[in-house]
A = this chain, B = another copy of it.
Amino acid sequence: MKIERIAVHVFEHPTRIVRDSAGHAHAGTGAPGKARLALLRLVTEDGAEGYAFGPPEVIRPFVLDSFVRKSLVGQDAFDRERLWHDLVHRQRGSAGQLTDRAISIVEQAQWDWAGRKLGLPVRKLLGGFRDKVRAYGSTMCGDEQPGGLATPEDYARFAEKLVARGYKGIKIHTWMPPVAFAPDPRRDVAACAAVREAVGPDIALMLDGYHWYSRTDALYIGRALERLGFAWIEEPMEEESIESYVWLAGQLELPVVGPESLAGRFLSRAAWAREGACDILRAGAPGTGGITSCLKVAHLAEAFGMNCEIHGNGAANLQVVGAIRNCEWYERGLLHPFIDYDEVPAWLNSLTDPMDREGFVHLPNRPGLGEDINLAYIEAHTVERY
């Protein structure tokens, strides 16, 4: 079925999230601001449609015209593997403009299109493994807001609320610059200890802290998390240095999870598996080049007898989680005391990842990626279309 056109709507929506100078999301304290999101729409000659959301800057007109439309228009929308490789081949000459994230958005739209066309959730096309999954609540990075996530005690109080909400796992993002007192390994450990003290021994806890610690600091933190019975540590050092992770994972019994933000899609994960740079691999559909590329990392991990914990929330990741055996969690968040994650975003009619009181997210049975998109809202708030 030939792809006839690919169009993008950039629309505005209210948000309580503000970004610091390093790009970290925090909870704003004033009136809601505005943010922009892009909806990519893929239409085939029979009128069937597929959708995927992404950052407008990633999928801007230049990227769409120079690469995406050239690869896809006129091609069979079911030829995901061929079209993905075609886009990847175009990356090299794109001066970095055709990113893995852009390719992922396009591929997600193809999966959504296929699921909608065939009347099935994407996980069932992939081959279903589960219908519900435990979610860990994933906090925002620490801040300096009173009553926010400014102190170890703030994290402890927030963790209690998350447990009351039903979460059986909590992942803590601690303080990073430009927060004045960050980074601070001892303060990170204090936050982890406060949370463990607050939630007791039966809640799974993970840490995703500052990403540029030294080996020494990372090992110090890791040893403390071992004593606190944490489930894993994530990205405490630059992931470009695989040697640092081999060094760390070789000493810690605490599982090391990664790589998360490393470039190279599934290709870069092979060395991590081979060298034992981590105990649990990591990939996410938006960041690792798409649903299939993320699945390839999960398959690589499975061949090595490793789990692959999926990075980030959202519809595409949820579909991967529903189709693989070798992960335990879905990452729900980012969460903050001032923000209600259970509030339906303005551009959806219902939550994609509703969680019950026992901490299970129930996978959507809606065809495609499973998002219940409010097209009327998006149309009414579109500020740019191309």
A324: interface (CB < 8 Å): yes
Indicate if the CB atoms of A127 and B292 lie closer than 8 Å: yes
Compute how far the CA of A371 lies from the CA of B104 in the bound complex, rounded to whole angstroms: 33
- Across-interface contacts of A300 in B (CB, < 8 A): 299-300, 303
Compute how far the CA of A267 lies from the CA of B84 in the bound complex, rounded to whole angstroms: 26
Q: How many A residues, CB 8 Å from partner?
A: 36
- Across-interface contacts of A127 in B (CB, < 8 A): 78-81, 84, 292
Compute how far the CA of A272 lies from the CA of B65 in the bound complex, rounded to whole angstroms: 42
Indicate if the CB atoms of A303 and B292 lie closer than 8 Å: no
A153: interface (CB < 8 Å): no
Compute how far the CA of A129 lies from the CA of B120 in the bound complex, rounded to whole angstroms: 22
- Across-interface contacts of A130 in B (CB, < 8 A): 82
A296: interface (CB < 8 Å): yes
- Across-interface contacts of A193 in B (CB, < 8 A): none
- Which among B81, B297, B325 is the interface contact of A129 at CB below 8 angstroms? B81
Indicate if the CB atoms of B125 and A266 lie closer than 8 Å: no
A305: interface (CB < 8 Å): yes
Indicate if the CB atoms of A297 and B292 lie closer than 8 Å: no
Indicate if the CB atoms of B302 and A78 lie closer than 8 Å: no
Whether A85 touches B125, Cβ cut-off 8 Å, given contacts A270-B304, A303-B267, is no
- Across-interface contacts of A305 in B (CB, < 8 A): 267, 270
- Across-interface contacts of A304 in B (CB, < 8 A): 270
Indicate if the CB atoms of B129 and A79 lie closer than 8 Å: yes
A227: interface (CB < 8 Å): no
Q: In whole Å, how far is A343's beta carbon from the nearest beta carbon of chain B?
A: 32
A168: interface (CB < 8 Å): no
A76: interface (CB < 8 Å): yes
Q: 1/0 contact trace for A129-151 toward B, CB 8 Å?
A: 11000000000000000000000
Q: Which residues 110-130 of A sit at the B interface, judged by CB distance below 8 A?
A: 118, 120, 124-130
Nearest residue, chain B, Cβ from A78: B124
Q: In whole Å, how far is A169's beta carbon from the nearest beta carbon of chain B?
A: 22
- Across-interface contacts of A332 in B (CB, < 8 A): none
Nearest residue, chain B, Cβ from A274: B274
Nearest residue, chain B, Cβ from A306: B270
Compute how far the CA of A323 lies from the CA of B295 in the bound complex, rounded to whole angstroms: 14
A269: interface (CB < 8 Å): yes
Indicate if the CB atoms of A269 and B78 lie closer than 8 Å: no
Whether A80 touches B266, Cβ cut-off 8 Å, given contacts A295-B299, A302-B296, A303-B297, is no
Q: 1/0 contact trace for A10-43 toward B, CB 8 Å?
A: 0000000000000000000000000000000000
Residues of A within 8 A of B (CB): 76, 78-82, 84-85, 118, 120, 124-130, 266-267, 269-270, 273-274, 292, 295-297, 299-300, 302-305, 323-325
| 21 pairs of residues in contact across A and B, judged by CB atoms under 8 Å | A76-B124, A76-B128, A78-B120, A78-B127, A79-B124, A79-B127, A79-B128, A80-B128, A81-B325, A82-B129, A85-B325, A118-B120, A266-B302, A267-B305, A270-B273, A270-B304, A273-B274, A273-B303, A295-B299, A296-B299, A296-B302
